Amino acid sequence: MVSDNEPTVVAFPFVGDLVGGSHISALHLIRSLDPKRYRPLVLMHQTDGPVAELFDREQVAYEPAPVKRCLEGGPGDAVFFLRDLKRLERFLRERKVRLLHTNDGRMHVTWQLAGRLAGVKCLWHHRGNPGAFGLNKVAPWTADHLITVSRFSAPAGSRWTSANSSVVHSPFDIDDIQADRSACRKALIDELAVSPDTALISYFGALIARKRPVMFADITAAMTRRAAPRAVRGLVFGDDPEGLAEPTVARAAELGVSEDLRMMGYRYPPTPWMAASDVLMVPAVDEPLGRTLVEAMLLGTPVVASDSGGNPEAIDDGRTGFIVPPDDADAFAERACQLINDPALRRRIVDQAREEAVARFSLERHVRSVTEIYDQLLSAAS
């Protein structure tokens, strides 16, 4: 039995093999929970991967998960159900966990059944496709509450109601997302060894099909045509889990813009390079609600994003950025050129975007919303 005077133990398990927006958001939440009320138990299935490196860098404590295996949809899953599931259940009981907060697909399916068996309240934090199998077929049986990061990512036609599901936007530490734009731009211009008046357009995010990195090569080519005689550099920042860097480079060569497209790799934090960019391009489709849009809004970098997924929930077209048809490189380039060539328009949009981002996406608002859900779940359990 847990004493009323003891902080509630909240378990946050992670696979550990890939850093994404879910890890950044969860890290902010974990660091901001009131220690008098909550004790985060951060668990890492892979303690030598990039997520562990991120948490080490941010000085957030974690420990190895009690089993290294997680459900992957392969032959090893049978072993998990025969042996590891009970170990997870026993671990949750022994560590007096009262809340289980999972943040990605593999952790949902690996941990939430164990949480259910252990009598733990389970929170499923969804940042993906609203049609995902696990969200629609597994979550209704295992989760006590569902959080989605946007209205777009919320499932339709299921058992989820306003009583057991919530839309909570991802958190941003507004005080940390600041930069001297002029100094950052000069440093990037020097790194690229290009003229100071070069138009710098950027892609930030993992190189995965949904985010359309190859399409960014088309946008770069369209910008090169429209911005002439001004030089253009299309900059791709992100890791490459799906092997799309090579096709992106090949597409740039096919379009004759190999010199104009640069693969910049994964950089953390992204703040200096995003602040150095003239325009953030977000060609992603079916993206629930990308962190990069909001980070750019806070930094004063204007955004052009596809009319898909949660992008229109973050960007008010013509007021806080531009929304264009998906996969339309010319439309992206046209709006970017408007922003670069019209300082008054740019200033108006970035000022309104920052004001909107501060009001809607603060860390304090996120923590308050999530802890209200925690309290609701714990109240129902008592």
Residue 3 domain-assigned (yes or no): no
Q: Which two tokens stand for residue 222?
A: 């369209």
In terms of domains, do 96 and 196 share one?
A: no
In whole angstroms, what is the distance from residue 315 CA to residue 96 CA? 42
In terms of domains, do 276 and 251 share one?
A: yes
User: What is the per-residue pLDDT for 1?
Assistant: 39
In whole angstroms, what is the distance from residue 178 CA to residue 267 CA? 16
In whole angstroms, what is the distance from residue 254 CA to residue 288 CA? 31
Domain boundary among 168, 195, 217: 168
Average pLDDT in the 145-167 region? 86
In terms of domains, do 346 and 197 share one?
A: yes
Q: What is the CATH number of the domain that holds 27?
A: 3.40.50.2000
In terms of domains, do 92 and 211 share one?
A: no
Q: How many CA within 13 A on the CB side of residue 223?
A: 35
In terms of domains, do 324 and 253 share one?
A: yes
Which of these, 125, 94, 128, lies nearest to 108 by C-alpha position? 125
Residue 175 domain-assigned (yes or no): no
In whole angstroms, what is the distance from residue 119 CA to residue 43 CA? 19
Place of tokens 């550990």: 16
- pLDDT tens-digit map of 331-361: 999 999 999 999 999 999 999 999 999 999 9
Of the chain, the percentage scoring pLDDT greater than 70 comes to 98
In terms of domains, do 231 and 266 share one?
A: yes
R_g of the chain, CA atoms, integer Å: 22
Q: What is the mean pLDDT of the chain?
A: 93
Residue 2 domain-assigned (yes or no): no
> Cα 102–108–109 angle (5° rounding)?
160
Residue 373 domain-assigned (yes or no): no
Q: Are 303 and 321 in contact (CB under 8 A)?
A: yes
Q: Which two tokens stand for residue 358?
A: 């501060």
User: Across the strands, what pairs with 241?
Assistant: none
- pLDDT tens-digit map of 30-40: 999 999 999 99
Domain boundary among 130, 147, 168: 168
Q: Are strands 232-237 and 261-265 parallel, antiparallel or unpaired?
A: parallel
User: What is the per-residue pLDDT for 223?
Assistant: 97
Cis before 269? omega within 30: yes
Residue 34 domain-assigned (yes or no): yes
Residue 379 domain-assigned (yes or no): no
In terms of domains, do 236 and 151 share one?
A: no
- pLDDT tens-digit map of 360-375: 999 999 999 999 999 9
111: number of Cβ within 10 Å: 29
Domain boundary among 141, 168, 195: 168
User: What is the per-residue pLDDT for 124?
Assistant: 96
- Band of residue 12 on the pLDDT scale cut at 50, 70, 90: very high
In terms of domains, do 161 and 185 share one?
A: no
Range of the domain at 157: 8-168
In terms of domains, do 189 and 306 share one?
A: yes
User: What is the per-residue pLDDT for 111?
Assistant: 96
In terms of domains, do 150 and 190 share one?
A: no
In terms of domains, do 312 and 340 share one?
A: yes
Name every residue whose Cβ is closer than 8 Å to that of residue 145 and which is 6 or more positions away in sequence. Answer: 121, 122, 123, 124, 164, 165, 166, 373, 376, 377
Task: Give the global pTM.
Answer: 0.84
Which of these, 303, 285, 213, 283, lies nearest to 252 by C-alpha position? 213
Residue 381 domain-assigned (yes or no): no
User: What is the per-residue pLDDT for 378?
Assistant: 94
In terms of domains, do 158 and 187 share one?
A: no
Number of folded domains in the chain? 2
Residue 378 domain-assigned (yes or no): no
